[in-house]
Structure 1
Amino acid sequence: MDGSEPGEAVAAAVLSGAPTELQARTVRIYRPAKTATQSGTWHGHHWRMDWDVLEKGHRWENPLMGWQSSADFMQGTHLNFNTKQDAIDFANKQGYEYFVQEPNERKIVPKAYANNFLHSPNRLKHIRTK
């Protein structure tokens, strides 16, 4: 993108003077899953935007500790939005290419303790424990 593309607005990344490899970033828009220790749905209503890792890598190994280092300052950054459309509008305004990852919805099957005692016309199942 260099600002000459047809459209209603110029991307903010073009006007900022950022390097070209940082202007054309791909972002992922998704709704994060709840952690395994949560049973409620409290923080699961917001949408998050993450930046993909750069193609060139910009990674090296620290010789002293052996840790992986990176020159990509957007690698561990994420933004939260109230709605999916807010995140898409922000990505369009910044000139980012994006893809939306729809969340997997939980299917809750209603259960009742009384169903254990329903009559069925089949033979009884005998369970021998010893």
Structure 2
Amino acid sequence: MTARIYQRPKNAMQSGKALMDQWILEFAPAEAKQPDPLMGWAGSGDMQQQVQLHFASQDEAQAYAARYGIPAVVHATPPRRLKIQAYADNFR
């Protein structure tokens, strides 16, 4: 029952930065998904795949994992690289 802790990435389809400061703890899948024979949908009996816990900081998420004995891996947020250019550069 391992978990991963990461910061929510910015939505590429919108310019806003809402909810980017949240840290998420989610559990790794314990078993592979299998197709349902009747409907063909993919599913599994692992209920922890559906759990996502939201925290205000990375320290809070790590403290929660340590308190409940959950081995967690922290995925660092990659640095943002801005490409600053003028509108006129589109026509060069």
User: Would you call these one fold, judging by a TM-score over 0.5?
Assistant: yes
Distance apart, 1:59 and its partner CA: 4.2
Give the direction of change, closer, same or farther, for the CA distance of 1:110–1:70 in structure 2 (3 Å limit): same
Structure 1 distance, partners of 2:8, 2:44, is 24
| 1:91 equivalenced with 2:65 (yes/no) | yes
> Residue in 1 aligned with 2:43?
69
- What does the per-residue CA deviation read over 1:8-35, in whole Å, with 9 as the maximum and x for residues that have no partner? xxxxxxxxxxxxxxxxx10000002122
Give the direction of change, closer, same or farther, for the CA distance of 1:63–1:106 in structure 2 (3 Å limit): same
Distance apart, 1:61 and its partner CA: 2.6
Q: Considering Cα pairs closer than 8 Å and 6+ residues apart, tell me whether 1 or 2 has the greater RCO.
A: 2
Structure 1 distance, partners of 2:85, 2:12, is 22
Listed as ranges, the gaps of 5+ residues in structure 2 are none
CA contact (8 A) 1:62 1:69 kept: yes
SS of 2:40's partner is: coil
Give the direction of change, closer, same or farther, for the CA distance of 1:63–1:112 in structure 2 (3 Å limit): closer
Aligned identity (percent) is 31
SS of 2:66's partner is: helix
Normalising by structure 2, what TM-score? 0.84
Structure 1 distance, partners of 2:34, 2:77, is 34
> Residue in 2 aligned with 1:45?
21
Structure 2 distance, partners of 1:33, 1:44, is 6
Distance apart, 1:58 and its partner CA: 6.3
- The runs of at least 4 consecutive aligned structure 1 residues that moved more than 4 Å come to none
SS of 2:81's partner is: coil
Give the direction of change, closer, same or farther, for the CA distance of 1:58–1:71 in structure 2 (3 Å limit): farther
> Residue in 2 aligned with 1:122?
none
| 1:107 equivalenced with 2:81 (yes/no) | yes
Distance apart, 1:113 and its partner CA: 6.0
Listed as ranges, the gaps of 5+ residues in structure 1 are 1-24, 117-130
Counting matched residue pairs gives 90
